[in-house]
Amino acid sequence: MPGTLFIVTAPSGAGKTTLVRGLLARDSQISLSISFTTRPPRPGERNAEHYHFVDVPTFKALRDKGEFLEWAEVHGNYYATSKVWIREQMLEDRDILLEIDWQGAQQVRKVFPDSVGVFILPPSLEILERRLRGRGTDSDEVIARRLLGARSEMRHVGEFEYVILNNELRDAVEDLAAVVRAARLRYPKQHVRHAPYFDYLEQD
């Protein structure tokens, strides 16, 4: 398939969503996959724009039908990605970006082994805690649980091809955009996009 699938993973509070928004704002050739989730919407979140919000029975029914590319339980809630939509978009030479955790990334690679993995790290755990508290949406108990989970998640950073430390937002967005540009220039992708040209070059 000519399109590229990008996997972006980060612990909660590392700034993943902000980085992805920055990338999408400057690159019209990449689309964000909208995940399914059983968690309740946060203030300002809208169904089918930020997530497809469904209840647990609906989620499990879709999962059992094989509708999902990957699914995982995170902090007591379920998350999943649509398989059919991603394939359709990639066949049309659209790049797709997934915001998923490391468990989901492992599942995705089994179906799309040439996907490109990017792990976003906070500058430090101290800064991560400060960012989580700055949200003002979680209790101390929830923050403590997220920090504990973050350390566990960050141990999987070696499973990803690219790692971005989100210290300065502008630099981190530039780094993410650079990964996307480089992935598009890989030989297998260029060969598919410009098949007649490469076929001519390969003639005796």
**Domains with residue ranges and CATH for the chain:** 5-33+94-201 (3.40.50.300)
Please give the mean pLDDT across all residues of the chain: 90
Q: Where are the beta strands (DSSP E) in the chain?
A: 5-9, 30-32, 36-37, 52-53, 68-74, 77-82, 95-99, 116-121, 162-165
What pLDDT score does 25 carry? 95
pTM over 0.85: no
Per-residue pLDDT reduced to its tens digit, 15-67: 898 999 999 999 999 999 988 999 999 999 999 888 999 999 999 999 999 99
User: What's the token pair of residue 155?
Assistant: 């141990």
